[in-house]
């Protein structure tokens, strides 16, 4: 079922058995990370998430996934190692596993260069080794950008220890996708009940908080050309932008926030792009395109966590001009993630 436009889905999850095995160990160890309900279900088949059978969909790349892409006319998936990536492991394990995952990703793209592209992972636990892997992933493996799953051991990217990673992403001219994971220990308290730690709410709170921290810290004065991508319809940050902007300027005036060269709204407009992953409300899309411009919004499915058919139907029926739909469906992805136009 080919579409009127090339369809490139940009937040599509995969895993490899080696990472899954390590996450199964995390599942079986004691702990109270907000990621554990998901990890215990997906990687140790415990009831709840375990009933949803996500692991098969994550590990499979060339079977069911390609068949489903064919069935619904998805031309390309931009793949990324699924949350929490390697960010719960010790630095050595994490570094070893990201290299392996990036190699496998490059191999599957090599076998299907018209169907897959990929975001490289790295281990923020060691910024120095992360930068080496980032350079290898782009220069040798020819991957298309980077993904990080929000906080690492409860620390956020505005921490100067992570700046070499941001510097590398900027220097390589590669977009950094900040994908959710369970909220950090300081943030997770009231999200524990009612399933709120999940993609229902906690994920957005975690990544939204991360994005606002980055803007308010002033780090985009240091990395003016850095592009950050956030999914799930911008994790709602741009719906808040007027108020973030107003209140941040007040905080700057009274000395509660660092002085910045640009306003928060200007940073969001310059340094952020968003995707529709797992958020299929036409009104939210219309607002996003009007607020940010059609050049800054990309389509995504969030495979295998979200079904493909409604994600395609949503964008086919979206209240956008054909010119804007072409941007959201594929042209922005081609530009931002260095994907060769068809």
Helix (H) or strand (E) holding 147: strand 146-148
What's the gap between Cα 297 and its chain centre? 13
7/85 with CB nearer ligand 1WB = 85
Contacts with ligand 1WB by CB under 6 A: the residue count is: 8
- Binding letters toward ligand 1WB, positions 63-82, x by CB under 6 A: -------------------x
What residue 82 binds from Mn ion, ligand 1WB, none (CB within 5 to 8 A, per partner kind)? ligand 1WB
Q: Which residue, 46 or 198, has its beta carbon nearer to ligand 1WB?
A: 198
Query: Which tokens is 259 given?
Result: 């002085």
Closest of 46, 112, 129, 43 to residue 74, by C-alpha: 112
Query: Is 297 within 8 Å of 320 (Cβ atoms)?
Result: no
Place of tokens 């392996």: 100
Q: Binds 199, which of Mn ion, ligand 1WB, none (CB < 5 to 8 A, cut-off by type)?
A: ligand 1WB
Distance CA 176, CA 61 (A): 23
Instruction: Answer yes or no whether residue 38 interacts with ligand 1WB by CB under 6 A.
Output: yes
Site residues for ligand 1WB, 188-217, by CB under 6 A, read: 198-199
Footprint (CB under 6 A) of ligand 1WB, residues 304-323: 305
Closest distance of CB 230 from Mn ion, Å: 11
Q: Is 156 left (phi over 0), alpha (psi -120 to 50) or beta?
A: beta
What is d(CA 168, CA 130) in angstroms, rounded to the nearest whole number?
9
Choose the contact partner of 38 out of Mn ion, ligand 1WB, none; CB within 5 to 8 A by kind.
ligand 1WB
What's the rounded Cα separation, in Å, for the pair 149 and 180?
5
We find the least distance from the C-beta atom of residue 107 to ligand 1WB, in angstroms, to be: 23
Provide, rounded to whole angstroms, the least separation between the CB of residue 10 and Mn ion: 10
Which residue's CB atom is positioned nearest to Mn ion?
Answer: 302
Q: Which is nearer to Mn ion, 83 or 131 (CB)?
A: 83
**Cis check: omega of the bond before 28, within 30 degrees of 0:** no
Evaluate whether 24 touches 50 at the Cβ level (below 8 Å).
Answer: no
Maximum CA pair distance of the chain?
Answer: 58
- Is there binding between residue 23 and ligand 1WB (CB under 6 A)? no
Helix (H) or strand (E) holding 13: strand 8-14
CB nearer ligand 1WB, residue 149 or residue 332? 149
Based on the shown chain and the rule CB under 6 A, indicate whether residue 33 belongs to the binding site for ligand 1WB: no
Q: How far is the CB of 13 from Mn ion (least distance, A)?
A: 5
Copy the structure tokens of residue 50: 């375990």
Q: What are phi and psi of 147, to 5 degrees?
A: -130, 140
Nearer Cβ to ligand 1WB (220/299):
299
304 binds, among Mn ion, ligand 1WB, none (CB under 5 to 8 A by kind): none
Give me the residues that bind ligand 1WB (CB under 6 A), please. 38, 82-83, 198-199, 278, 302, 305
């Amino acid at each position: 079922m080919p579409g009127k436009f090339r369809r490139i889905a940009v937040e599509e999850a995969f895993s490899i058995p080696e990472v899954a095995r390590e996450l199964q160990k995390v599942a079986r160890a004691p702990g109270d990370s907000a990621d554990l309900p998901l990890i215990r279900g997906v990687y140790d088949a415990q009831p709840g998430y375990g009933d949803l059978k996500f692991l098969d969909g994550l590990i499979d790349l060339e079977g069911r996934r390609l068949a489903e892409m064919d069935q619904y006319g998805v031309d390309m998936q931009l793949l990324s190692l699924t949350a929490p990536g390697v960010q719960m492991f010790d630095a050595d394990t994490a570094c070893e596993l990201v290299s392996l995952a990036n190699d496998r990703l490059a191999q599957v793209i090599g076998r299907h260069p018209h169907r897959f592209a990929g975001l490289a992972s790295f281990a923020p636990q060691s910024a120095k080794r992360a930068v080496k892997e980032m350079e290898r992933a782009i220069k040798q493996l020819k991957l298309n950008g980077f993904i990080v799953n929000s906080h690492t051991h409860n620390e956020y990217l505005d921490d100067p220890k992570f700046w070499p990673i941001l510097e590398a992403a900027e220097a390589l001219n590669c977009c950094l996708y900040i994908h959710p994971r369970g909220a950090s220990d300081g943030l997770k308290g009231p999200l524990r009940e009612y399933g709120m730690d999940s993609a229902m709410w906690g994920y957005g709170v975690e990544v939204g908080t991360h994005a606002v921290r980055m803007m308010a810290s002033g780090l985009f004065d240091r990395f003016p050309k850095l592009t950050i991508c956030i999914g799930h319809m911008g994790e709602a940050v741009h719906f808040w932008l007027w108020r973030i902007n107003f209140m941040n300027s007040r905080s700057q005036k009274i000395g509660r926030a660092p002085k910045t060269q640009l306003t928060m709204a200007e940073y969001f407009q310059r340094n952020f792009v968003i995707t529709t992953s797992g958020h299929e409300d036409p009104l939210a899309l219309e607002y996003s395109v009007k607020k940010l411009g059609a050049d800054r919004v990309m389509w995504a499915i969030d495979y295998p966590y979200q079904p493909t058919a409604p994600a395609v139907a949503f964008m086919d029926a979206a209240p956008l001009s054909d010119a804007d739909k072409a941007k959201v469906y594929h042209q922005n992805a081609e530009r931002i993630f260095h994907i060769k136009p068809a």
